[in-house]
């Protein structure tokens, strides 16, 4: 057997199919939270989000869209602010998320970033985003770009989420929706279908296994060391 002098072998976990098998598979519809990054009266990121929610429901998921209107700036209000509480409750409820932002000045909007900044990595003993799936999309007023989705991928990794491989970037979004706010048939629409279908698949695949998938050696080691210190202190 390979010698690992720098590892606590008692805390190593050897993955297996058996360990990945959920003990009690969920039977409810996948729970997907959708966030969008604009407060404009006619918001193409919101229209794209609504289109995504319809697709998610068609694929058997339960979709909820958070309205960022009235959400204060991060640290600009107490954590018990009604909109902050609403957002955090939805994040805890969700098993997957969709983030959709316009690209503004080559980046995601502050509206979208503020929503993410109100979500802590931990809420008491709960890590509200860790191990949950994420799909990212953006709309642009000009030619196709991927600056916003690339930024959101970095942010999703920081929030310890499982960002799916596919993504959507809709160029000249003002041409892609009809007068009723519905997305027109196009390759852009087909890609949105792809992304939502893939998100539901990945959510079904991981939601009952997320605790095991994100269980880390370094954290097990840290917990064991903290426990050992407490025991040693009590024995003094």
pLDDT digits over 135-161, tens only? 999 999 998 999 999 999 999 999 999
Query: Does residue 138 belong to any structural domain of this protein?
Result: yes
The pLDDT assigned to 38 comes to 95
CA-CA distance, 144 to 148, in Å (whole number)? Answer: 11
To which H or E segment does residue 180 belong? none
Domain count for the chain, please give it: 1
pLDDT in tens, 106-127: 999 999 999 999 998 888 778 8
- Distance (Å) of CA 94 to CA 58, 91, 234: 18, 5, 41
pLDDT in tens, 33-78: 999 999 999 999 999 999 999 999 999 999 999 999 999 999 999 9
| Per-residue pLDDT at 180 exceeds 70 | yes
The pLDDT assigned to 236 comes to 65
Q: What is the mean pLDDT of residues 28-33?
A: 97
- CATH number for the domain harbouring residue 209: 3.40.50.360
Q: What is the mean pLDDT of residues 223-227?
A: 81
Domain range spanning residue 102?
26-235
CA-CA distance, 67 to 35, in Å (whole number)? Answer: 8
| Per-residue pLDDT at 214 exceeds 80 | yes
More confident site: 1 or 182? 182
More confident site: 95 or 212? 95
Query: Does residue 127 belong to any structural domain of this protein?
Result: yes
Do 153 and 163 form a contact (C-beta atoms < 8 A)?
A: yes
Query: Does residue 51 belong to any structural domain of this protein?
Result: yes
Query: Does residue 15 belong to any structural domain of this protein?
Result: no
Reference 176, options 70, 29, 48, 22; nearest CA is 48
């Amino acid at each position: 057997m390979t010698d690992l002098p720098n590892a606590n072998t008692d805390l190593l976990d050897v993955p297996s199919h058996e360990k990945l098998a959920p003990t009690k598979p969920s039977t409810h519809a996948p729970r997907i939270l959708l966030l969008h990054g604009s407060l404009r009266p006619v918001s193409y990121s919101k229209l794209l989000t609504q289109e995504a929610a319809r697709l998610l429901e068609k694929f058997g998921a339960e979709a909820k869209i958070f309205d960022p209107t009235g959400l204060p700036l991060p640290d600009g209000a107490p954590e018990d602010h009604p909109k902050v509480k609403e957002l955090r409750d939805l994040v805890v409820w969700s098993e997957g998320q969709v983030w959709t932002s316009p690209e503004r000045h080559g980046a995601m909007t502050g509206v979208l970033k503020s929503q993410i900044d109100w979500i802590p990595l931990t809420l008491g003993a709960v890590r509200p985003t860790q191990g949950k799936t994420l799909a990212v999309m953006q709309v642009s007023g000009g030619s196709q770009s991927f600056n916003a989705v690339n930024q959101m991928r970095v942010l999703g990794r920081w929030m310890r989420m499982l960002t799916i491989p596919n993504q959507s970037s809709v160029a000249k979004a003002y041409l892609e929706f009809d007068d009723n706010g519905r997305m027109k048939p196009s390759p852009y629409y087909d890609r949105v279908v792809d992304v939502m279908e893939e998100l539901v698949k990945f959510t079904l695949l991981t939601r009952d296994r997320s605790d095991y998938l994100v269980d880390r050696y370094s954290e097990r080691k840290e917990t064991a060391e903290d426990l050992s210190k407490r025991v040693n202190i009590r024995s003094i």
